[in-house]
Structure formats: C-alpha cells, structure tokens
Amino acid sequence: MSDKNTRRKFLQYLGVGAASCTVAACNEKTSNPTASSTVTSNQTFNWKMITTWPKNFPGLGTGAEFLAQTINEMSNGRLNIKVYGAGEIVPALEIFDAVTAGTAEMGHGSAYYWKGKNPALQFFSTVPFGMTANEMNAWLYHGGGMELWQRAYQPFGLVPMAAGNTMVQMGGWFNKEINSVEDLQGLKMRIPGLGGEVLRLAGGTPVNIPGGDLFVSLQKGVIDATEWVGPYNDLAFGLHKAAKYYYSPGWHEPGTTLECFINEEAYNSLPSDLQSIVRNAARVANQDMMLEYVARNNDALETLINEHKVDVREFPTDVIEKLRGLSEQVVADVVGSDPFAREIYDSYQSFLAKSKAWYNLSERAYLNMR
C-alpha cells in the first residue's frame, strides 16, 4: 500500500474515533487555555494557514499540509484549512504578526524566528546542546513546558501547539574547512535563533533568511555557509551543488520543534469538540513528522554520499567545546534580566538534567552496546 493510502486510512480511523469519543476522553493533559462557550455545532469554519516554508516543501511544508488534512478529515469537513506557502499571503518571517492580526487563523513555523518579540520564545524551538526531539516533547506534554509556552504566546493573542520536529540536524554546509575556532572568524552564515548568537560571539555573522533563498545566497557568495535541516531537506534544496563540505553534528539544533499557532479569537470561536480535534491533530502531525525525518534522512544521506560524493566531516572537538561554552553565555544573557525567561529555562534545564540521568542508563548505554 502506498504511503498516501496508508495515511488516508489512518486519518479515516482517527476521524471515526474523534466522532465517537467524548470531548473529555479525547482531551490531552495540556488542555486548551481558554474555554469555548459552545459544546457542539454544525457550523462550518474555513481557515487559512500561512507558513514559513515553500509550498509543499518536503517534511516542513508537507507537514503543514498533513496537519490541515488531518483536521479536515477528523472534523468531517466542519473545519476546512487551506495552506499557503511562504510569500503567498505574507513573507515567510511575517506570519507571526499576520496571525496575531487575524490575516490568517493559523501559522506554521518555529519559535526561534520570533526572537525579536521576546528572546525567551526561542526556548520553545531548540537550545544549542539541549534537548533532543523526544526530550523536548516529553517536557512540553508532561513536564510543564506547554503551559509555559501558552503563557509566552498569550500577550500576542496566539495559542501555540507542537506540530513536528526535525530531530537532530546537521551542522551545515561550508565552502571552507572548519579546522579551528579561528575559521569561524568573519564567517557569514545563515543560522537562526540561539545558535546564531553563539556564532556571533565566536566572531561570525549570523544571517536569518528564508529557506527558499538559501541555494542562491550560498551559490552567489552572499553567505559563506548555511545550516538548513538535514540530508532529506538539504538534498531537496540541492545545497550540495553550492557548498563543498557538510559538517556534523547539529550542535545548534538537537531537536527543533515545529509549531502551529492559532489566533486566539479564532480558536475560541470553535466549539469544544473542534478545539479538541485541532489539539489532537497537532499531536498526530508532530509524531508523523518525526518518523518521516528518521526514515527519509537515511536514504538522503546515502544519496548525498554515494551519488553526489559529498564530503561529510565532523567539527573538531575544540570547536565544539568552544561553542558549548559560548552557548551557556548566550542563554545566560537571555535569562539574566527577564524573570519569565528564567522561569522557562529553569523548567527546561531541570527536565533536561533528569532526562540525562535516565538516558545514560537506557538509550546511550544501549547504543554504545549495539
């Protein structure tokens, strides 16, 4: 059976389940932050979802489409969502403001793109040398992270939800070798979020440009290096044609959460069963994207190495240790003068410390044995 047919049957199954269960049974522990005044309704809602990704871009753009399709089918057509790629309604990095303003009801991106609103929002995307995808989801759903995220977005009139994760990323594409910390001096690199601030402290120049502009920018020398995601997405953009060296590991993005966020007024206008469908569909999309990246990165890496002869390298240990120290400094600067940022990061760091202890006895021990 094709992947498309398998997904469709799965969504049909979910739709039956959503229709037959009560709202209380379907609700997740991190329930909606606001209550709807209506329990059920036959009203039809037509929404727009704007994204930071090129239309139908593998993994990211298709993840947004999968979320929309899941909601459409689980709601039996009562909530129809049309997805727009970056630039179709507003530019990629303007979707946060557009959803706040009600230009569209939903957005799909990642929280580190909005650091200009509040630097603490980056903690809900990824932290250099921080949590992996599984750890991040565990913190969000079972460690208090989601409640903090909802509080962080409430001043902007938005309701956030996790809607995917790219897993551990690659370190990026470079047109020169990175043999020492000195090689980062003056390096102009596309790298967003906290990782970009780490590069700045290391003497480089971080640039935040949309994914759709990466290939041309790298090819024409507008930037010297770029990180994007990993083999699956990097191959789709053809970045191997514009840079010589492919570095690992992705110290800056160990498990990047993709988000959907919803205009709060639009969310509150939904009856409670549709709110539940949206929340649970986001969890399905979140898990589906993770599994897709695990599967697709394997094949794409083989193609890059065997067919395109990409030179895959690891960052030197001294470079990684320098970046680790600078990462701690960057985080300290973010939380130093903001009590709420400190509350978020204390929760994040406390969960990570516990996770490390268990991980060392379980997955790390097993992988070393294997």
What per-residue confidence (pLDDT) applies to 36? 45
- d(Cα 327, Cα 146) in Å, to the nearest integer? 24
Task: Specify whether the backbone of 53 is left (phi greater than 0), alpha (psi in -120 to 50) or beta.
Answer: beta
Question: Which two three-digit tokens encode residue 170?
Answer: 């690659």
**Distance between CA atoms of residues 92 and 193, nearest Å:** 15
Please report the pLDDT score of residue 42 as a whole number: 85
Confidence band, pLDDT 50/70/90 cuts, at residue 311 = very high
What are the pLDDT digits (tens) for 236-295?
Answer: 999 999 999 999 999 999 999 999 999 999 999 999 999 999 999 999 999 999 999 999
CA distances from 67 to 7, 23, 83, 247, 326 (A): 12, 20, 10, 31, 36
Give the pLDDT of residue 33: 52
Q: Mean pLDDT over residues 103-116, rounded?
A: 97
User: Of all residues in the chain, what percent carry a pLDDT higher than 90?
Assistant: 87
Tokens of 276: 């539940």
Which range among 37-41, 196-200, 219-223 shows the weakest confidence by mean pLDDT?
A: 37-41
Task: Estimate to the nearest angstrom the gap between the alpha carbon of 112 and the chain centroid.
Answer: 9
Strands 245-248 and 205-207: unpaired
Q: Which helix (H) or strand (E) holds 292?
A: helix 272-306
On the question of pLDDT at 5 being above 80, the answer is no
| pLDDT at res. 214 | 95
Which fold is adopted by the domain 14-166+256-295?
Answer: D-Maltodextrin-Binding Protein; domain 2 (3.40.190)
Whether residue 207 is predicted with pLDDT greater than 80 in this model: the reply is yes
pLDDT at 37 over 50: no
**Beta strand pairing status for 79-84 and 188-190?**
unpaired
Q: Is the pLDDT of residue 339 over 50?
A: yes
333, β-bridge pairs: none
Residue 4 has pLDDT above 80, yes or no: no
pLDDT digits (tens, 9 = 90+) for 273-283: 999 999 999 99
Q: Which pLDDT band, with edges at 50, 70 and 90, does 3 fall under?
A: low
Which among 358, 301, 362, 338 is positioned nearest to 120, based on CA atoms? Answer: 338
Which helix H or strand E contains 160, and what residues bound it? strand 158-165
39 has a pLDDT exceeding 60:
no
CA 295 to the chain's CA centroid = 17
- CB contact set of 367 (below 8 Å; sequence gap of 6+): none
pLDDT of residue 337: 84
